Structure formats: C-alpha cells, structure tokens
Chain A
C-alpha cells in the first residue's frame, strides 16, 4: 500500500518532492515533452530489426552499443528519462529528476514546510529557485 506521504509526493527518507510529473508519467512516462524524439528512438530500433530481418543487416555488438548510446543521448537531451523508474534517482545531469518551482511557489512551500526538518535537505540554487535531489 502506498504510504500517505508518498501519495502526496513527499517521501520521508529521501525527501523527494514529487510535483506531479510522476503522475503524468503513469500515462505518458516515456513520451515526455518531446514525443517526436521518443518516436525517433523507437524508429531507430524498428529500422534495425527490420533491416536485420529482411535486408541482411549485420547487427554487431559494437553497433548495438553505439545505438544504445545514441538512443540514451536522445532521451537525455529531450528530458525523457526523468520519469523512468531507474533513472529518477540518477544525478540530474545523467537523466535524474530535477524539479524546479517558481519563486512564488518556493516561498509558499517554505512557509508551509518550515516546521519540517527534512526541508533542510532540499537544495537551492541561484539559477533555479528549488532543485530537488
């Protein structure tokens, strides 16, 4: 059963402030904000399989490795990895979640959560008002 805090986006152990992206990800977790990029990645896979099956394309380990790198780069560049389970806890530069809230929202959150000791764990950056690990 989901814990109440988890349901509301706050996890006590890791201070994960889930602002709804994971909810959207239930239905659209892979497509992200750049659906055409997601489609391109799938198309690469489809072309490789079709070519191997019908046009005698030789799928080597090195090609597979390079292909995985390119697809990962497409996903990373298009911010598509943030809502995928294994990647959510990665560092933001490798595709992990980075939630940014507006200064107004941060101010209200600070007021609301000032009694919470876990709030100290939330990092703040100058360029993005609220960045969460």
Chain B
C-alpha cells in the first residue's frame, strides 16, 4: 500500500491537475484548505486502473452478443418451424441445449489448459477425485440451466426478439427477490424503486403486445401470455441459480474453469438423457449424433455459438472491465479526497 502523498510516475496528467489546489482566479476559496491535514491510503496505480481499449471492445462484444442471442433464438425457432413444415428434420430445444453444453465443456477445457499449461482432463479428474462432494454441489444449477435454456427457446418461439429481450430483464427482479428471501440481503430504497419501475415497464410492454394483435411481423408464432409466463419461470430459475451459486459455491477453492467443466458435464448428462429418451421425429435419424448434426440449421448453429461463447465473454467483461473501473474509481476518489 502506498501513500497518496507519494506521487507515482504512472499518474496521468489530468489526475495531477485535478489534485492541484491552486485556484485559477488567484483567490483562495474558503471551502478549500490550503494545506489539508488528510492522509489517505490507496492502492498503487496499476495498469488495470486505466480505462482501456480492451474494456470498450469487451463492452461492444457483449452488446453484440446480447442482441444477437435474442435475434438468433427467435430466428432459430422460426427456422425449426419452417423445416417442420417442409418435412426436414429439426432439432428439439433439448438437442440445442445439449450441443451448447458440449461446446462449453470444450471451451472450458481449452481455457483450463491455457491457465494450467498442463493436461486439463487430468487436472479435472484429479480435482473431482479429491473433492467429490464439492463437485456434486453443481448438480442443482446444472439441471436448472438445462431447463432454463430449453424454456428460453420455448419463450423465443412465442415472443418477438425485442419483447423477449425486455421480458428477460425480469431476472433482475427475481434475482433481487431471491437474494432478499434466501440470503436475507437488504435492498436500498433506490433498488426497490428500480424493481417497481421494471415491473411497470414490463407490464406496459405486455399491454402493447396485447394491443398489437396476434400476428407477428416475422412469420413466427406469437403468444404473449404464454411467452411472458415461460420467461418468468426462466427468470425465476435464473435468480435461484444465481443465489444458490452465491450461497453454496462462493469461496470454493476450485478453479472457475474446472467448475464450468463440472457444470457443463452434468448439463450434458441431463440434456443428453432427455434427448435420448424422447422421440426424434419421423424425418430424423435415430442415432443421437446424426440427429443433432442433421437437425440443427445454420441459425440454430449461430445461436449455439453465441450462447456457448457469450457466457465466457460476459465472464471476461465482469472480470476485466468491472475491475478496471472499480480500481479507477477508488484511486481517483481517494486522490481527490485528500484535497490537494
């Protein structure tokens, strides 16, 4: 920890100018002491404390990913509908989730290999053997994720993309309520106001959709009450999963990527057994791999890639962008508080 009075060579010009107490009109303000007796401790300025290009790129990436996910979710369901009408094999939502989770295993193993610079499979097996009970804790969120992702596709089949995106924000409400009920957390007045406004906003969007009739502009199905109900279930599951993760898995010594591998493995098992036990449809091959490869259209593949890669992108944003700004705010706040 360094002292604020010790000027670091890495401090930028604007930081220095802001910290300077010299008045510009030559008269000292009565509110600004000439020599303040304030000494604060602050972390040394680091490279992470700067607003970087990386942050901008990551944010743009998340915007594109968020937008593309809603659009491709809707479009993939319209594609499936068209394939069904033409008698071509189309994959069920369960099969789509199976492919997404399989891809997540691959990506997580890849990141684990980069992190460890060793064989990731050996590492995962060793960790699993060492802490089998710890690994089993992810069964609950894994099953919930599978259900949640399938229901999301059901919602996408019944709601247009912008409505799906707006209704999806219900997860803020459900996560907040779950954290209040299950974790005993208290929300400030501002957050309660935000939740009221959110609910009112979603109700207004629903009213607008009920007024606009049952015809959707994109040739897909439209059933707003069902879509809203399914989205609410998805949001509730999402909120519960988030709180469960915080309560049960926070502070676990396991690496993030190992945890992701476990999560995706259980999800693959859940989705795989569901797809295996349900009929594939008359026009589809019996073998699971053939069914998946043949049943997914181009848009469904795009959705799979966006879903699988999107989680990792958001993790990167939270890890890097958030920390960058936190560090920046802390440093500048403390710097100014010394009043010169």
Contact = CB atoms under 8 A, between A and B. Distances in A.
Interface of A: 1-5, 7-10, 12, 18-21, 23-24, 27-28, 31-36, 38-40, 42-44, 46-48, 50-52, 55-58, 60-63, 65-74, 76-77, 79, 92-95, 98, 101, 105, 108-109, 111-113, 115-116, 118
A69 B197 contact: yes
B217 interface: yes
Contact of B325 (A35, A67, A105): A35
Interface in B170-218: 172, 176, 188-191, 193-195, 197-198, 200-209, 211-212, 217-218
B336 A43 contact: no
B193 A76 contact: yes
A87 B21 CA distance: 28
A73 B51 contact: no
Interface in B301-340: 314, 317-318, 321-322, 325-326, 328-329, 332-337, 339-340
Interface of B: 14, 18, 21-25, 27, 29-33, 36-38, 40, 51, 55, 58-59, 62-67, 70-71, 160-163, 165-166, 169, 172, 176, 188-191, 193-195, 197-198, 200-209, 211-212, 217-218, 314, 317-318, 321-322, 325-326, 328-329, 332-337, 339-340
A98 B311 CA distance: 32
B31 A5 contact: yes
A73 B198 contact: yes
B309 to A, nearest CB: 15
Given A4-B24, A35-B55, A60-B211, A10 B29 contact: yes
Contacts of B190: 76-77, 79, 92-95, 98
Contact of A46 (B29, B38, B67, B332): B67
Contacts of A21: 329, 333
B40 A105 contact: yes
A108 B41 CA distance: 13
A73 B204 contact: no
B161 A39 contact: no
Nearest to B78: A55
Contact of B160 (A32, A55, A66): A55
Given A55-B217, A76-B193, A66 B24 contact: no
B18 A7 contact: yes
B201 A51 contact: no
A24 B325 contact: yes
A101 to B, nearest CB: 7
B208 A20 contact: no
Contacts of A5: 23, 29, 31-32
Given A36-B318, A66-B208, A77 B172 contact: yes
B88 to A, nearest CB: 22
A6 B275 CA distance: 64
Contacts of B201: 66-73
Contacts of B55: 28, 31, 35
Given A7-B24, A92-B190, A116-B31, 17 more contacts: A4-B29, A5-B31, A33-B326, A35-B317, A35-B322, A36-B62, A39-B62, A42-B63, A44-B66, A44-B165, A47-B162, A62-B204, A70-B166, A73-B194, A77-B194, A112-B36, A112-B339
Nearest to B218: A55
Nearest to B164: A47
Nearest to A8: B32
A62 to B, nearest CB: 4
A23 B32 contact: no
B322 to A, nearest CB: 6
A115 B30 contact: yes
